[in-house]
Structure 1
Amino acid sequence: MQKLAIYQVDAFTNQRFSGNAAAVVPLSAWLGDTELLAIAQENNLSETAYLLELADGHYFIRWFSPITEIDFCGHATLASAFVLFQLKPELTELRFSTKVVGDLTVKKQGDWLQMNFPERPALPVADVPAALLKGLGATPVQVLQSEQAWFAVYQDAATVTALTPDMQLLKQLGPWDVVVTAPGTGFAEGQYDFVSRYFWPANGGDEDPVTGSIHAGLAPYWAAQLGKTELLAYQASKRGGVLRCELQQDRVLVSGQAVMYLQGQIQL
């Protein structure tokens, strides 16, 4: 019987039972993709991250939702770094190699972890799918598209928090997901620069609690709108999550906190 360590971490929060939960599974050798997906389905979290050590402080990382392998995931990268920094407290920086988005680094900054992502901009589109507009149920003031998702921009945070999308319609937009966003004015006493929610029925589930990867597109958009390069963001799901974002040339620094929920053992 093969035994694997497993950790479950709440990411983009400093309180358990909020933020976005991710499973982290360090490996000594890759399992088959069928097994990796089966474990992710058994975990039934938005993401399970698998880590294979390449050198001290350098890991290959792969992410699986219960539906499919994912090209890029922020919260499970944050969770993975949180686990590794606990296992190896002498380290202050980690490097993750990936299949699609190149190498990502994570630096320890007190109880915040700063991830260095490639900028993934969202661009205006001429043709907006009817399924997007009908599925969201409220007309956005602007629609853009990145390589990851459709962006629906609204005038105020209240509209974003009140949306009740038709997931069957949004599922038709796959492989793209959908992020809705608005300025943070009038929300939580205006302490956030912008808010968002993320829907991904084609690739993972109805609503993702906190989505680090999409802030590689959201942060550049709001930086241009607000005229600032450092932003504080809130993802307004039921669990909620806080993200610090900073632009540095063609990179986006996304920082968050994390809390350990459990650690255990998988038996295969």
Structure 2
Amino acid sequence: MELTINVIDAFTDATFKGNPAAVIITENWLSVDLMQSIAVENNLSETAFVKKIDNQHYEIRWFSPITEIDFCGHATLAASFVIFSKSNGLKTINFFAKAVGDLSVTKMDNGYIQMSFPNRKPKVIDDIPLALLNGLSIKPAEVLLNDQGYFVVYEQEADVLNVIPNNELLKQLAPFDVVVTSKSSEYDFISRYFWPANGGDEDPVTGSIHSGLAPYWASKLNKSKLIAYQASKRGGKLICSIEGSKVYISGKAVQYLEGKITV
């Protein structure tokens, strides 16, 4: 069987920046074992498998090299980029994902792709796991939690940039991942994302976690529109806005590769 594969750098306008994701669009689902094997072979943060329903409606699933993921923003952006690129005049796509429901995506006139995600604002916790406290080289100012991960808030931007994770300890927090974040001098806020239990050591740019980061910082900064930067080695910029139960996350993407795989 031959499949078309696209590799897209998401949340960037320059190749070799942002977060790369593979995208495979099919008429019918492949087996779970095959999808996982392809994701392992690709060895990217995520491979998005997309099942076409019609020109505007699709189902989507995301696989890291380790496991299937409930929710992935950058691979959704990558999949949207591929679909928009192949469909002249198409402005809106609707994805369905089992864990998060319907996701609406719009191609904006300014070149950004805007994704509508559920608001997953985290809640403050008092009982902080020792694996989290001992798994980060800098003590948190505050810790919160949502369905995806622990949110570690720092008072200084330098703490986010300089913190060293112990991923063997953070792995013990499964199924949760860890995001560290602070206010920023250049952006509204910055973050880094560690996910050794589900994908790898540090994710370059994580769209899904911004459905929690954006509402958190919106309430702290008293503003509904924010510019975020994920401060990994590759780095990525995200435009976020909050409207009630929805978080809109926008980014750009660029094509890196289009090819065929034989499985």
Whether TM-score is above 0.5 comes out as yes
Q: TM-score range by the shorter chain?
A: over 0.9
Deviation at 1:156, TM superposition (A): 1.4
Q: Match of 2:62?
A: 63
Q: Match of 1:103?
A: 102
Q: Match of 1:230?
A: 225
Deviation at 1:29, TM superposition (A): 1.1
1:118 maps to 2:118: yes
Q: Distance in 2 between matches of 1:31 and 1:195?
A: 37
1:171-190 equivalence runs, <5 A? 171-185=171-185, 190=186
Among candidates 241, 244, 255, match of residue 246 of structure 1: 241
Deviation at 1:121, TM superposition (A): 1.3
Deviation at 1:175, TM superposition (A): 0.3
Q: CA RMSD in A?
A: 0.6
Among candidates 240, 260, 265, match of residue 255 of structure 2: 260
SS of 1:225's partner is helix
Q: Distance in 1 between matches of 2:223 and 2:89?
A: 34
Query: For 1:42-62, what per-residue CA distance to the aligned partner results, in whole angstroms no more than 9, with x for missing partners?
Result: 000000000111122100000
Q: Distance in 1 between matches of 2:156 and 2:71?
A: 28
Q: Match of 1:199?
A: 194
Q: Match of 1:140?
A: 140
Q: Distance in 1 between matches of 2:222 and 2:30?
A: 46
Q: Match of 1:53?
A: 52
Q: Match of 2:80?
A: 81
SS of 1:18's partner is coil
Q: Match of 2:216?
A: 221
Deviation at 1:164, TM superposition (A): 1.3
Q: Distance in 2 between matches of 1:231 and 1:175?
A: 28
Deviation at 1:28, TM superposition (A): 1.6
SS of 1:26's partner is strand
Q: Distance in 1 between matches of 2:193 and 2:34?
A: 27
Paired amino acid for 2:216: Y
Deviation at 1:157, TM superposition (A): 1.2
SS of 2:250's partner is strand
Among the aligned pairs, what percent are the same residue? 55
Query: For 1:201-258, what per-residue CA distance to the aligned partner results, in whole angstroms no more than 9, with x for missing partners?
Result: 0000000000000000000000000000000000000000000000011100000000
Give the count of matched residue pairs.
Answer: 262
Q: Distance in 2 between matches of 1:206 and 1:227?
A: 32
Q: Distance in 2 between matches of 1:160 and 1:25?
A: 34
Q: Distance in 1 between matches of 2:246 and 2:157?
A: 26
Q: Match of 1:14?
A: 13
**Gapped runs of 5+ residues in structure 1?**
none
SS of 2:89's partner is coil
Paired amino acid for 2:5: I
SS of 2:14's partner is coil
SS of 2:101's partner is coil
Q: Distance in 1 between matches of 2:78 and 2:220?
A: 30
Query: For 1:12-40, what per-residue CA distance to the aligned partner results, in whole angstroms no more than 9, with x for missing partners?
Result: 00000000000000012111100000000
SS of 2:173's partner is coil
Paired amino acid for 1:248: E
When normalised by structure 1's length, the TM-score is 0.97
